[in-house]
Structure 1
Amino acid sequence: MSSINYDLTKIKTFIFDVDGVLSPDCIPLSIEGVPMRMINIKDGYAMNLACKSGYGMAIITGGDTDAVRLRFARLGIEHIYMKSSIKINDLNDYMAKTGYKPEEIMYSGDDLPDMHVMQAVGLPVAPADAAPEIKGVAKYISHKKGGDGVARDVIEQVMKAQGTWMNDQAFGW
């Protein structure tokens, strides 16, 4: 039984911000000043399973590191928008390239740069520790904090609602 107040059978694609959603909002810096992100393994597994099961998947982030791009590409994500200064532009590009409609899209963000995207999609999701303004526009606030399984939480609920969670793809990488 889902705790999300939205018709989850409509969702065909998942889009995630990185910092504060797929990674904690506190990140160490390398000696060169490059942010070093931690990524939740269970989030990665759920994202990979969703891709293999035919769902769309995208990343829209203001960050720009090769490690982030490589990690998500290895999970099967083709649409990775880095250095996104106005995220709604990248959402519009993604919809134009894929044909997804707003009501078919779940987007998870945690801070003000995510606001316009969250207002434009059918299912806006916020981590438990998101900014108050973002929680105010979210249709679902995960019980998980950023970097602690937000993607797994929402992907699992959507896939269970659609009967695709425990499919043949679920038992391997």
Structure 2
Amino acid sequence: MDAAIPDTVLTRARQVRLLVLDVDGTLTDGRLWYAEDGRELKVFHVRDGLGLKLLLHHGIAVAIITARVSHALALRARELGIVHLYQGREDKRACLSEIASALSLPLSACAMVGDDLPDIAAMRSAG
């Protein structure tokens, strides 16, 4: 094993069956872009998309939870094959619990990645 990664971290990582992601600041650079007509625009990196597709290919479920609602995000999720998309959800911890329950997974098998205060409760409840 790689000496730079503690065995405890590797053990926990091997147990992950669901990756849950926030969007703004996690899948994007955190900036908010608006078109002249008021539509919200998002910029996603192709490398993140490849990584998410690889997770799905290897049987790791991927979910996205965001408090915002974005047509661009819905298109990107569909393009990547992410079926667990939850937009307009303020309580991310409750949403994470719902997803885990629907997939018959314990929270210990879930990983949550976020970058802001509304993500903390969900990150703490995940494995």
Give TM-score scaled by structure 2 length.
Answer: 0.88
Shift of 1:117: 0.1
Structure 1 position 104 matched with structure 2 position 109: yes
Partner of 1:52: 57
Deviations 1:33-83 (Å, cap 9, x if unpaired)? 232111011000010111122111100011211110111122111110001
Partner of 2:17: 12
1:2-151 map, 5 Å:
3=5, 6=9, 7=11, 8-122=13-127
Deviations 1:63-122 (Å, cap 9, x if unpaired)? 211110111122111110001111112111101110111111111000011011011011
Higher strand share: 2
Using the alignment, how far apart are the partners of 1:100 and 1:21 within structure 2? 23
| Partner SS for 2:102 | helix
1:34 maps to amino acid: R
Give the aligned CA root-mean-square deviation in angstroms.
1.5
User: What are the ranges of 5 or more consecutive residues in structure 2 without an aligned counterpart?
Assistant: none
Using the alignment, how far apart are the partners of 1:57 and 1:73 within structure 2? 12
2:60 maps to amino acid: Y
Asked whether the equivalents of residues 68 and 89 of structure 2 are also in contact (C-alpha less than 8 Å), the reply is yes
Asked whether the equivalents of residues 26 and 115 of structure 2 are also in contact (C-alpha less than 8 Å), the reply is yes
User: What are the ranges of 5 or more consecutive residues in structure 1 without an aligned counterpart?
Assistant: 123-173
Give TM-score scaled by structure 1 length.
Answer: 0.66
